[in-house]
Amino acid sequence: MLKMIDLPYPLTALEPYYSTKTLDLHYHILYKGYIDSTNKIEESLEKARNEGNFENIKCLEKNLSFFGSGAILHELFFANMGPVIPTEPSINLMEQMIKNFGSYEKFKKQFTEASKAIEASGWCLLVWVPKWKKLEILQCEKHQNLTLWGCKPLLVLDMWEHSYYLQYNTRRPAYIDAFWNIVNWNEVNKRFNNL
């Protein structure tokens, strides 16, 4: 059974960049839904194995990928935000960014533009690709499509409407700009060091 992770800060901690109401709905309703659904799917899979009945297997595997990835990405997202206390990429991460993107500014610009250009529901991710030993930026559709196999998400931004519409309406760029104020680089650095 998957359990919800605790938010590493109070619901009000990301104000004014990420409103209390948005975070409350995002965490208690939407994220909880992904955890509950993943658990339900795991139960159905166990039942299917025990009964030897794989009639619904295609649907179950598809839902496992969707809801499971949704659960994982939300946990990464909540943890890679934090109160407005300035943090920055570690020396190691910065060196890698310079190597792969040219500079921090170029990384930030690409991540911002990639976030803006996501079609409908999806995520923007800074990832480490072990096979290539390099950082890349990916646009993910829904929670699970358009990945590179084996990549490790380091920094993720939720671009589903539920993550910004209440506060920013259609002003996606304003939401993305605000996000940069509440990135918790300490968490991103930890993920990079633990590769």
Report how many residues bind Mn ion under the rule CB under 5 A. 3
Q: Which of 124, 158, 175, 182 binds Mn ion (CB under 5 A)?
A: 158
**How many Å apart are CA 44 and CA 62, to the nearest integer?**
13
Structural Rg of the chain based on CA atoms = 18
Least distance from Mn ion to the Cβ atom of residue 160, Å: 5
Peptide bond into 130 cis (omega under 30): no
* Helix ranges (DSSP H) in the chain: 20-25, 32-51, 57-79, 91-101, 104-116, 165-168, 172-179, 185-193
Q: Whose Cβ is closer to Mn ion: residue 38's or residue 163's?
A: 163
Site for Mn ion contains 187 (CB under 5 A): no
Binding to Mn ion by CB under 5 A, coded x per residue (else -) over 28-67, reads ----------------------------------------
Helix %, strand %, coil % of the chain (to 5)? 55, 15, 35
Residue 187 three-state SS? helix
Judge contact between 121 and 161, C-beta under 8 A.
yes
Q: How far is the CB of 60 from Mn ion (least distance, A)?
A: 22
Stretch that binds Mn ion, among 89-97, 102-110, 134-142, 157-165 (CB under 5 A): 157-165
| Residue 37 vs 163, nearer CB to Mn ion | 163
Per CB under 5 A, residues contacting Mn ion are 158, 160, 163
